[in-house]
Chains A and B, each alone.
Chain A
Amino acid sequence: DQQVKQNSPSLSVQEGRISILNCDYTNSMFDYFLWYKKYPAEGPTFLISISSIKDKNEDGRFTVFLNKSAKHLSLHIVPSQPGDSAVYFCAALDGGATNKLIFGTGTLLAVQP
């Protein structure tokens, strides 16, 4: 049972435009969410996070929005750059004893020059 879902396996946008990556979750107990970026043959790297006490967190070109009632979050990248082309994973922190992250299946973003 997938607790974190990324329903779009891929997304293609033009350089300079906005990229919007979406993520849904099923467990209302999740209260901390993260986005990771992964290039081929590399491990995922942390991008941005958001706590459930907020509905928006911004870091440069990257903004994450959280809609708790809809159990939905999104990552906005604006303006998109070719170097942003990568797989983006949404993750939720399972706040039990393990504090492990539960990941979605990822969205492959391709930014066309």
Chain B
Amino acid sequence: GAGVSQSPSNKVTEKGKDVELRCDPISGHTALYWYRQSLGQGLEFLIYFQGNSAPDKSGLPSDRFSAERTGGSVSTLTIQRTQQEDSAVYLCASSVQGGDGYTFGSGTRLTVV
């Protein structure tokens, strides 16, 4: 597609449930990033994928968070046993090779009740 596509756009889940968030980057973009924006906070880096290299997971806040990128394209961010503090907008971005020139998706607004 023309842009970065994220689904679902909104997700409400009960505390303790697992959720999966999907990101479909721009075709040909080798770099993919996940960020999240909690209420009143900036964009917090979570994880970075670049081609076939090992991902940089240094931003993941806990071991309940994991992400995969299959075939160098679509990425899934999984949050296990969700907590209320996980409520945020989760943003995915892709770029040709990292650095500037990110294109962001519209995000998934996750609400844990």
Residues of A within 8 A of B (CB): 2, 4, 6, 9, 32, 34, 41-46, 49, 89, 91, 93, 97-106
Interchain CA distance A6-B97 in the complex, whole Å: 27
Q: How many A-B residue pairs have CB under 8 A?
A: 62
Contact with A102, one of B45, B99, B106 (Cβ below 8 angstroms)? B45
Given A41-B106, A43-B105, check contact A34 B91 (CB 8 Å).
Answer: no
Given A99-B99, A105-B41, check contact A44 B91 (CB 8 Å).
Answer: yes
Interchain CA distance A100-B50 in the complex, whole Å: 11
Residues of B within 8 A of A (CB): 4, 31, 33, 35, 40-45, 48, 50, 56, 58-59, 91, 93, 97-107
Interchain CA distance A8-B93 in the complex, whole Å: 26
Q: Is the pair A100, B48 in contact by a Cβ cutoff of 8 Å? A: yes
Q: How far is the CB of B54 from chain A (nearest CB, A)?
A: 10
User: B43: nearest residue on chain A (CB-CB)?
Assistant: A103
User: B9: nearest residue on chain A (CB-CB)?
Assistant: A41
